[in-house]
């Protein structure tokens, strides 16, 4: 069982609340502006993410979601 | 620890108009999560206030009314009295509830109306442009208290949760905040308790949520969190102020 | 049920129940508090709802909430109370909700007095609150007519999705008259699932209904106002009600008068007729829409020299009468509004002085 964290760049307003609560220091603000005119957050160190979901909980814009990734190695074989 | 996280069904896909770092979005999400968990989306009617949350109906996926300034508790009374089976909540800010709507909220609470109020207190008028609210802190500068709130002139900030708790009618009155994940967990629990009391037909319920307004406070979102912790929370103390049992 | 002797205010309350309205929110105010007193008992008997709100302002939004979820609802009040409700009436109009208001008018301005008056004519017909809205306004001249108008008001409010106001001077509420109640209304509000915020499960839908008045897009707000205007125009076509009196005679003077005042005028018309002085009268039963055509045609009669608006107000209806007469004849005014009602003799003197 693995998990995938995704950030909806178009919803993010770059407030940085998620960055402050991330215990693993995974997140940083991007230097590229999004369509809303904000600098959205991105996973600078994705491998450090342990999917604790504190960032999701703190985000006022529901821009961060974590989904379960179905392990399909058997299908590949 | 939670591993997955998704938008609740009761919340719409629409992007909010709230400023970056404004915690309205968090509170909206908590309400939506509670409505999902209680399975009452199909019989819920929300009431939007006048203030920043005036467009709240765009962000939920159930029926909504939009009130006049401060009158949401009267509207909620109207709905709940003629359709007690509906789950009704008002979502109000401090200018709306504690100033122009002071009369409506007190009497609804005193009648023990069986609806829920989410009261977002960020110590300032948001939508109209950062004017002084009844909940503005002493010395806090706003666009109508440019030298800071002078309590000798306009009195002390109103503690709505305590004021409403003085009523003799049983009710559930609690104060929460959403500035950190631990607070968010507690705030959600309180919101769920409030809606549960309503579902049980038990009492009026109000969750005051001490919230931020980075733009009108003139702070970054993170500084606003810090200011809330250092300035608002010592005055607006967190926790249940009244439960129907006491 | 045959004829019963009943006070106007109580008859109004009973009529609402017979119109299928079992939800009543109100705040006490003289001279209409008997409606609330009557319904506080009667609603219990019929399984309806009575709630005394904390103010007229709050009551107006309780009505909004109840109507917004598709339930029949009404209130009664008197002039200062209607002023307070005017805020809510504007919102109710903007949200296009069917609500029935009864205003048992007392003298003003301010606290004024508690005796009969028609001083709220302009407030009722031109909109007492903010924005471009109109109420459908009916004015009874007897307790029987008040009952009939209340029972008509609910289907009309629902037909137009617009508030309806019944405006009776204090006498209509306070006097006792024999009254016969029509059968219970069978009709129910229709199409409410299209707009009412009654819970998606109620209408087996997954699309939320939003009841609101804020429209920040100027084009959409303009559209809404055009929709409202179209409703008011339709009312003008379909809902005008009036009673002509002695209109077949060769009258020299045409009286326009409504409510209790029109009953005094009627006596004056009869007495003048006996002395050979013919006077015609148009009694508007709807104040909005105003019976413009009826007044215009009656004023245009060759024998008619002058038109007079006789009111328990300082000429508030004169504008509507002038607008209807279109300059064909001079339009005069007679009335008083301290709480006394002119006697037939005083009306006769006022009429005779015109020619």
Q: At residue B246, does pLDDT exceed 80?
A: no
Residue pairs spanning A and B at CB distance below 8 A: 81
As a 3-state breakdown, chain A gives helix, strand, coil percent values, each rounded to 5, of 20, 25, 55
| Average confidence (pLDDT) over B219-240 | 98
Q: At residue A74, does pLDDT exceed 80?
A: no
Q: At residue B32, does pLDDT exceed 50?
A: yes
pLDDT at site A73: 60
Residue A27: give its domain's CATH number.
3.30.70.20
Q: At residue A76, does pLDDT exceed 60?
A: no
Shortest Cα distance, chain C CAs vs residue B66, angstroms: 5
Three-state DSSP class for residue B47? strand
A60·B6 Cβ contact <8 A: no
Indicate the CATH number of C243-352 among 3.40.50.300, 1.10.3720.10, 3.50.50.60, 3.40.50.920.
3.40.50.920
pLDDT at site C127: 84
| Touching chains B and C? (3+ Cβ pairs < 8 A) | yes
Query: Which residues in chain B have their CB less than 8 angstroms from residue C66's CB?
Result: 78-79, 81-82
- Where along chain B do its domains lie? 24-242
Q: Between the CA of residue B176 and those of B235, B241, C233, what are the distances in Å?
A: 13, 10, 52
Q: Which pair of tokens denotes residue C239?
A: 């809902």
Q: What is the 3-state secondary structure (H, E, C) of chain C?
A: CCCEEEEHHHHHHHHHHHCCCCEEEECCCCCCHHHHHHHHHHHHHHCCEEEECCCHHHHHHHHHHHHHCCCCCEEEECHHHHHHHHHHHHHHHHCCCCCEEEEEEECCCCCCCCCECCCCHHHHHHCCCCCCCCCEEECCCCHHHHHHHHHHHHHHHHHHCCCEEEEEEHHHHHCEEEECCCCCCCCCCCCHHHCCCCCCCCCCCCCCCEECCCCCCHHHHHHHHHHHHHHHHHHHHHCCCEEEECCCCCCCEEEECCHHHHHHHHHHHHHHHHCCCCEEEEEECEEECCCHHHHHHHHCCCCCCEEEEEECCCCCCHHHHHHHHCCCCCEEEEECCCCCCCCHHHHHHHHHCCC
Which member of C54, C66, C214 has the closest CB to residue B79? C66
pLDDT at site A1: 73
Chains that touch C (3 or more CB pairs under 8 A): B
CATH topology assigned to domain C4-198+225-238: Rossmann fold (3.40.50)
Name the pLDDT band for C187 (thresholds 50, 70, 90): confident
Three-state DSSP class for residue A28? strand
Confirm whether the ipTM is greater than 0.95.
yes
Chains that touch A (3 or more CB pairs under 8 A): B
pLDDT at site C4: 96
Q: At residue B122, does pLDDT exceed 70?
A: yes
Query: Which residues in chain B have their CB less than 8 angstroms from residue A50's CB?
Result: 1
Contact B71/C at CB under 8 A: yes
Range of the domain at A68: 2-76
The pLDDT tens digits of the residues spanning B89-106 come to 999 999 999 999 999 999
Average pLDDT, chain C: 97
Q: At residue C73, does pLDDT exceed 90?
A: yes
Name the pLDDT band for B125 (thresholds 50, 70, 90): very high
Query: Which residues in chain C have their CB less than 8 angstroms from residue B103's CB?
Result: 54-55, 57-58
Average pLDDT, chain B: 97
pLDDT at site B245: 86
End-to-end CA distance of chain A: 17
CATH number of B24-242: 3.40.50.970
Cβ–Cβ < 8 Å for C170, C117: yes
> Kind and range of the H or E element at B64?
strand B63-66
Contact A26/B at CB under 8 A: no
Contact A67/B at CB under 8 A: yes
Name the pLDDT band for C27 (thresholds 50, 70, 90): very high
Query: Which residues in chain B have their CB less than 8 angstroms from residue A58's CB?
Result: 26, 180-181, 184
- List the single residue in B with minimal CA-CA distance to A9: B15
Shortest Cα distance, chain C CAs vs residue B122, angstroms: 23
pLDDT at site A77: 41
Q: At residue B37, does pLDDT exceed 50?
A: yes
Beta bridge partners of B121: B210
User: pTM for the full model?
Assistant: 0.97
The tally of domains found in chain A comes to 1
The pLDDT tens digits of the residues spanning C127-186 come to 899 999 999 999 999 999 999 999 999 999 999 999 999 999 999 999 999 999 999 998
- Where along chain C do its domains lie? 4-198+225-238, 243-352
Contact A33/B at CB under 8 A: no
pLDDT at site B2: 62
């Amino acid at each position: 069982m693995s998990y995938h964290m995704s950030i909806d760049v178009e919803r993010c307003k770059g407030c940085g609340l998620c960055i402050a609560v991330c215990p693993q220091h995974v997140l940083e603000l991007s230097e590229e502006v999004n369509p809303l005119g904000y600098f959205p957050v991105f996973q600078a160190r994705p491998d450090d993410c342990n999917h604790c979901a504190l960032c999701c909980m703190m985000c006022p814009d529901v821009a961060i979601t974590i989904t379960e990734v179905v392990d399909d190695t058997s299908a590949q074989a | 620890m939670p591993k997955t996280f998704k938008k609740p069904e009761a919340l719409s896909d629409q992007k909010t108009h709230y400023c970056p770092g404004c915690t309205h979005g968090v509170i909206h999400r908590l309400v939506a999560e509670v409505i999902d968990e209680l399975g009452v989306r199909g019989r819920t009617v929300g009431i939007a206030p006048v203030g920043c949350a005036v467009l709240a109906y765009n962000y939920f996926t159930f029926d909504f009314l939009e009130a006049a300034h401060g009158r949401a508790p009267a509207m909620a009374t109207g709905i709940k009295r003629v359709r007690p089976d509906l789950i009704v909540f008002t979502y109000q800010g401090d200018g709306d509830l504690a100033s122009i709507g002071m009369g409506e909220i007190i009497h609804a609470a005193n009648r023990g109306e069986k609806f829920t109020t989410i009261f977002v207190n960020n110590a300032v008028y948001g939508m109209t442009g950062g004017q002084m609210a009844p909940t503005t802190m002493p010395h806090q500068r706003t666009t109508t208290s440019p030298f800071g709130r002078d309590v000798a002139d306009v009195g002390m900030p109103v503690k709505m949760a305590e004021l409403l708790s003085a009523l003799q009618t049983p009710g559930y009155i609690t104060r929460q905040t959403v500035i950190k994940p631990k607070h968010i967990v507690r705030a959600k629990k309180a919101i769920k308790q409030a809606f549960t009391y309503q579902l049980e037909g038990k009492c009026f319920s109000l969750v005051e949520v001490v919230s931020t307004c980075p733009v009108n406070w003139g702070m970054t979102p993170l500084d606003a969190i810090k200011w809330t912790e250092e300035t608002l929370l010592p005055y607006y103390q967190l926790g249940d102020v009244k439960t129907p049992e006491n | 049920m045959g004829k019963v002797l009943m006070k106007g205010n109580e008859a109004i309350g009973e009529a609402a129940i017979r119109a299928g309205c079992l939800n009543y929110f109100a705040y006490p105010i003289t001279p209409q508090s008997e409606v609330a007193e009557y319904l506080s008992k009667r609603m219990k008997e019929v399984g309806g709802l009575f709630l005394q709100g904390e103010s007229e302002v709050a009551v107006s939004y309780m009505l909004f909430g109840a109507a917004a979820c598709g339930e029949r609802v009404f209130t009664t009040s008197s002039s200062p109370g209607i002023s307070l409700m005017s805020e809510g009436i504007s919102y109710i109009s903007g949200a296009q909700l069917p609500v029935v208001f009864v205003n048992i008018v007392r003298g003003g301005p301010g606290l004024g007095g508690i005796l009969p008056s028609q001083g709220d004519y302009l407030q009722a017909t031109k909109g007492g609150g903010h924005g471009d809205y109109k109420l459908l306004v009916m004015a009874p001249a007897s307790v029987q007519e008040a009952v009939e108008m209340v029972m008509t008001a609910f289907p009309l409010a629902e037909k137009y999705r617009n508030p309806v106001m019944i405006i009776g001077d204090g006498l209509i509420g306070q006097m006792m008259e024999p009254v016969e109640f029509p059968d219970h209304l069978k009709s129910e509000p229709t199409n409410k699932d299209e707009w009412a915020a009654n819970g998606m499960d109620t209408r087996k839908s997954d699309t939320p209904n939003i009841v609101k008045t804020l429209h920040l897009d100027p084009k959409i707000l303009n559209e809404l106002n055009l929709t409202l205007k179209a409703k008011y125009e339709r009312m003008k076509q379909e809902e005008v009600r009036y009673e002509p009196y002695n209109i077949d005679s060769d009258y020299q003077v045409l009286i326009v008068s409504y409510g209790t005042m029109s009953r005094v005028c009627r006596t004056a018309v009869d007495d003048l007729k006996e002395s050979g002085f013919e006077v015609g009268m148009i009694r508007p039963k709807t104040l909005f829409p105003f019976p413009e055509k009826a007044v215009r045609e009656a004023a245009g009669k060759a024998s008619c020299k002058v038109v007079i608006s006789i009111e328990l107000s300082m000429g508030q209806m004169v504008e509507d009468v002038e607008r209807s007469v279109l300059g064909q004849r001079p339009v005069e005014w007679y009335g008083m509004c301290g709480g006394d009602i002119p006697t037939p003799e005083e009306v006769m003197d006022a009429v005779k002085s015109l020619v």
